[in-house]
Every structure is written in structure tokens, then in C-alpha cells.
Amino acid sequence: MKANYYNIRITRVELVGGFSVEEKKVLIVDDQNGIRILLMEVFSSEGYKTYQAANGKLALEIVRSDSPDLVLLDMKIPGMDGLEILKHIKEVNPAIKVIMMTAYGELDMIKEATELGALMHFTKPFDIDEMRVAVNMQLKSGSVL
């Protein structure tokens, strides 16, 4: 008797706030290792696939290869700053959602980031629960924000 074999793919599906986060990807871009680790732990526990980058070059490589659904992007990164990274992300894929993070209250940079397509910004130190809620809202199925 011949056995039948099936290639079964199991994906992790969780309901977070009443919606599925199946295969949603979040890229965290920050030069501070502690912030990247914290955010990766938070969003991994929410059921997202997480990626991290400490600089713009690596961030853009991940954007091109893995096409994240959302990027948490620090405004001040040595080398290529957040605004430049944001411009490149939107050139690669305008549909990628971007939330900016900054330790600085520079209104002109925040305004420019919004004009370039950033959805919102968080000022460091930020409330991790507020960021978690914001990311979940942005990645909710069918969200147009």
C-alpha cells in the first residue's frame, strides 16, 4: 500500500484585538540595541514576524528582500538619517506603513516625515503600550491608515 504524503504548512494565527496578525511583518530600525530588542520582544509576542536593523543600509536591504508591512523607524540614525531612509522605503514600496520614533522634538523633521508618508511619530521615551496599540491598529486587516 502506497502512503500519501502531504506538505502541510502551519502558520501561527492569533487574534489580537479581534483581528488576525497572520504573517504580518514589522521592521524595527534604531541604532540603540536596547530599543530594538525591547520592540522585537513586544511585537514578536503580539504574533508578528519581526526584523531589526541598526542602520539605513541594512534596513533597506530588509525592505527589499522581506517587504515588511510596517516599519518603526528612528529619526536620528548615524549615516543615513530617518528621513532619508523613509524616502527610500517609499520609493521601494509606497504601501509600507511607517511610524517614526525620535528622541528629539524637532517639529520641522516631524512635519517633513509626515509629508513623506509617515503615519505618526512617537517621542522617546515612549509608552510601549501606546506603541503596541498603534501598531496593532495600523496592521488591522483592511486598515487604510
Any idea where the domains of the chain sit in the sequence? 21-137
Report the b/e string of 70-104 with b at 16+ CB within 10 A.
bbbbbbbbeebebbebbebbbeeeeebbbbbbbee
Contact 13, 22 (CB under 8 A): yes
pLDDT of residue 14: 46
DSSP letter (8 states) at residue 55: S
Number of Cβ within a 10 Å radius of residue 25:
19
Q: Judge if pTM exceeds 0.75.
A: yes
Q: For the domain covering 21-137, report its CATH number.
A: 3.40.50.2300
Contact 75, 112 (CB under 8 A): no
- Beta strands across the sheet bearing 97-102: 49-53, 25-29, 70-74, 97-102, 120-123
At residue 99, φ and ψ (nearest 5 deg) are -115, 125
Q: What is the pLDDT at residue 38? A: 96
Q: Is the dihedral of CA 44, 87, 96, 106 positive or negative?
A: positive
Question: Could you tell me the mean pLDDT of each successive run of 10 residues in the chain, 145 residues long?
Answer: 37 47 87 97 96 98 98 94 97 97 81 95 93 95 48
Cα 112 to the center of its chain, rounded Å = 19
